[in-house]
Amino acid sequence: MLSRFHRNNGRFAVILSLIFAGGVLPRPASGQERRPNNPFAKQFGGGDPQEFFKKFFGAETDEDRAAVEKMKVSTREERRIGQSAVDAYLAGMKRRAKVTDRGKDVEYLRKLVTTLRPMMKNAGRYRSIRVFLVESDEPDARSFPGGTLIFFRGMLDLAENEAALAGVVGHELSHLDHQHQLYDAKRMKLAQRTFTGGNGFSPEAFFRDGMMLAKSFSRPFRPEEESEADADGVRWVYKVGYDPREMAKLFLRMAERSREARGAPAFFRTHPYHADRYATAMDLYNELQKKTPKKELYVGRENLRERIPKSEKTF
């Protein structure tokens, strides 16, 4: 990335100064999709951060990635970016479905989060995690920077038992733990540091723009990110005593489902394919059994049905 930075130095300085001056990026779109009406957005990817980075820096190399991943986003910056993203996402969602942060389902999910959160490497950074429930049949779940998880009721139905649902919770917490969604913000920070000596450009201001933000957060995770989150989900539920094979089976159920229905929710989107995710999860389960054998692993059908976590009652 660095060599290309230099080649494009002049051009980039112009863009940054446009951003500094404000008014170039459209104001937050209050959840509404808006077309870019400024030369900056038109020239660089039509408001899509991925296109912007690609057009400007070219294809990304492993070396580029390593440099980006070293960038730090402060807790405060992360919260701000996350808050904007959650606001935009929920504003859009509320037009289609009921969204709530209270009730029996939310309380139940919160308790599962409490069980799994200590497994995170950065648990201290995410001391309180907000949970929302979308009243929708879609089996989906998402996480947002700063520590917000959004579950769709359909996921509670498809999970069939607490072990599988705990795996989904672990998967989402893993995305947070590895800061998978802060990648674009880190790229902007690196670009800023390289060009301006750091005088005032804030990545969160950049990402506050409604459309940039929506596109940044609708980007599917990279296959490596999904695999990493799946692996954490399996390891973490195993550690706290659930049977990770239930999470694996959930991927199979999803494979069956998506053969019937068109499109897939974000949680199950694109690569790796469901069948691969199933096989990888089962392999990891076998590995864990070899290393630290556990005879009794918990499934918890009744727990999910009653919305009472195993931390409170075993059936």
- Can you give the binding site for Zn ion, defined by CB under 5 A? 226, 229
> To the nearest whole angstrom, how small is the minimum distance from the Cβ of residue 296 to Zn ion?
29
Give whichever of 231 and 282 is closer to Zn ion, judged by the CB atom: 231
> To the nearest whole angstrom, how small is the minimum distance from the Cβ of residue 105 to Zn ion?
20
Q: Which residues pair with 143 in a beta bridge?
A: 149
Rounded distance between C-alpha atoms, residue 187 and residue 206, angstroms: 12
Give whichever of 42 and 269 is closer to Zn ion, judged by the CB atom: 269
Give whichever of 88 and 229 is closer to Zn ion, judged by the CB atom: 229
Six-digit token pair at 89? Answer: 């996402």
Give whichever of 226 and 243 is closer to Zn ion, judged by the CB atom: 226
Rounded distance between C-alpha atoms, residue 140 and residue 299, angstroms: 20
> To the nearest whole angstrom, how small is the minimum distance from the Cβ of residue 166 to Zn ion?
15
Give whichever of 129 and 229 is closer to Zn ion, judged by the CB atom: 229
Six-digit token pair at 224? Answer: 């490596």
Give whichever of 77 and 226 is closer to Zn ion, judged by the CB atom: 226
Helix axes 75-94, 183-196, angle to 10 degrees: 130
Of residues 177, 147, 136, the one with CA closest to residue 266: 136
> To the nearest whole angstrom, how small is the minimum distance from the Cβ of residue 178 to Zn ion?
11
> To the nearest whole angstrom, how small is the minimum distance from the Cβ of residue 171 to Zn ion?
6
Rounded distance between C-alpha atoms, residue 149 and residue 157, angstroms: 17
> To the nearest whole angstrom, how small is the minimum distance from the Cβ of residue 271 to Zn ion?
11
What distances in angstroms separate CA 49 from CA 151, 283, 286, one per listed residue? 26, 36, 40
Give whichever of 117 and 189 is closer to Zn ion, judged by the CB atom: 117
Who contacts 183 (Cβ-Cβ below 8 Å, separation ≥6)? 68, 69
Q: How many other CB atoms sit within 10 Å of the CB of residue 292?
A: 9
Output the DSSP codes for 85-129.
HHHHHHHHHHTTS-EES-SHHHHHHHHHHHHHGGGSTTGGGGSS-
> To the nearest whole angstrom, how small is the minimum distance from the Cβ of residue 11 to Zn ion?
35
Who contacts 232 (Cβ-Cβ below 8 Å, separation ≥6)? 119, 170, 171, 173, 174, 177
User: Which residue minimizes CB distance to Zn ion?
Assistant: 229
